Chain A
Amino acid sequence: MITKRIIACLDVRAGRVVKGVQFVDIVDAGDPAEMAARHACEGADEIVLLDITATHEGRGTLLDTVRRTARELFVPFAVGGGIRSADEAAQVFEAGADKVSVNSAALADPGLIDAIGRSFGAQAVVVAIDARRDPEAKDPVRDALVFVQGGRKPAGRRVVEWAREAEARGAGEILLTSMDADGTRAGFDCELTAAVSAAVSIPVIASGGAGTVDHFVDVFGRGKADAALAASIFHFGVSSARSLKEDLAKAGVSVRLPC
């Protein structure tokens, strides 16, 4: 039986995993290669590495980080953050990523999705969408506003129509972050996730708001998510993917166990 995926996310800056607390106080949380290996060993179904280095100088470091992280990793490995062209994507694949995640660059040039998909296959293209409910829209959820540049700037797109375009252009998966829920640890935005998941045939990865096991049960059920991203709950040994999945299995969610 197909299982729901638990994806460990590593935010990386200048070659180190970092964790922001309430969007400030960036804390050094470790070495990406070591942490990715530990998450995989502890049962994460997939690893996502998001580069939050804002500068060009950091790009070379990213490829080195991807190479080191991929070396001993034998679960799916996605890399995102600042990938602007098919050539940059090719370098990231060459370094060992199985998938790339594109966000702002795909909104600026949607043809980027087609271009990467043509060369590397749809399964290799994850389109990341940061969305916030629009209380003024007729349907605040389906018409949630899409943001770029780390949530700072509205992109002028609505979440469901953009997700559908991404799929039509050859995206293999949608990584959907609710900006309303992100950082709250109060639960995923299940309505938003369900609206996008029902609108496309490709898998939707829910992100933003994870705090408890029940939040995951909820987003896999009501939220119709195919996978869920967990970042902060794994940091500092608070919880492992395995313990999360054991609890999910008890709650009736199909997960990969033993892993």
Chain B
Amino acid sequence: MRVTVIDYKAGNLTSVLKALRHLGAEPQVADRDATMVQEAERIVLPGVGHFQATERLDSTGLTEAIREAIGRGVPFLGICVGMQWLYAGSSEAPHQQGLGHFSEACARFPQGAEKVPHVGWNSLEVRGDSRLLAGVQSGEFVYFTHSYKAPVTTDTAAIAQYIEPFAAAVERENVIGVQFHPEKSGVTGLKILSNFLSLHRKASA
């Protein structure tokens, strides 16, 4: 299966590629070549680091290629900052627009008694009939490391609690994001990645 992993030079892709290969996928890395996005059967946008780094998606033309691919029904998975990019933007980089597929914006955890960043294994509260989270029970743990997060909305597929409830996973048809790192989340994470790899294209496509 042709899985295109987008490299926007914001951290290390090794772990994501390794997990995808472990599951039998054949990931290829695109850092500027829009045709690799156009031909993709699956798109994964990883990302650790700063929201500002997503600017590179705009300057390389990958943003538009991704938008078109999503429109054709190609399954898309954004991880961490890659999930946040699906929203309108983030207060981490107020002048950098996200894809805007989800209309809300991401914001920093409020400062208080708890530490920010949120780092470690936290449990999921699975909502509704998420295809990404098929077979994942509420209470299963996944690994997070982030300071910014997306709000809980009707598209939220799983909630996690840290300081306040936030979106651990978002899913609308073929467009999916996870705030946690499935590639670092043991058996549960691999199950989630495997679910993503077995998604069919959107019925209308």
Contacts and interface: CB of A to CB of B under 8 A. Distances in A.
Interface of A: 1-5, 40, 45, 70-72, 74-76, 93-96, 98, 119-124, 172-173, 201-203, 226-227, 256, 259
A74 B123 contact: no
Contacts of A96: 14-15, 18
Given A75-B143, A76-B143, A256-B141, A5 B120 contact: yes
Interface in B2-60: 10-12, 14-15, 18-19, 22, 48-50
A11 to B, nearest CB: 23
A63 to B, nearest CB: 12
B119 interface: yes
22 contacts: A2-B121, A5-B120, A45-B120, A72-B22, A74-B186, A74-B187, A76-B184, A93-B12, A94-B14, A96-B15, A98-B184, A120-B11, A121-B10, A123-B117, A123-B119, A124-B12, A124-B48, A172-B119, A201-B115, A203-B119, A226-B115, A259-B141
A89 B133 CA distance: 34
B161 A227 contact: no
Contacts of B117: 122-123, 172, 201-203
Given A75-B184, A172-B117, A203-B119, 17 more contacts: A3-B123, A40-B186, A70-B14, A70-B15, A74-B19, A74-B22, A74-B186, A93-B14, A98-B12, A98-B184, A119-B11, A121-B10, A123-B145, A202-B115, A203-B120, A227-B120, A259-B141
Nearest to A98: B15
A76 B40 CA distance: 28
B190 interface: yes
**Interface pairs A-B: 7 shortest CB-CB:** A121-B49, A121-B48, A123-B145, A256-B121, A93-B12, A256-B141, A203-B119
Nearest to B123: A1
B189 interface: yes
Interface string B99-135: 0000000000000000111111111000000000000
B186 A259 contact: yes
A151 to B, nearest CB: 27
A120 B48 contact: yes
A226 B120 contact: yes
B143 A121 contact: no
A202 B118 CA distance: 9
A114 B186 CA distance: 30
A1 B114 CA distance: 12
Contact of A74 (B10, B11, B184): B184
B171 interface: no
Contacts of B116: 201
Nearest to B190: A74
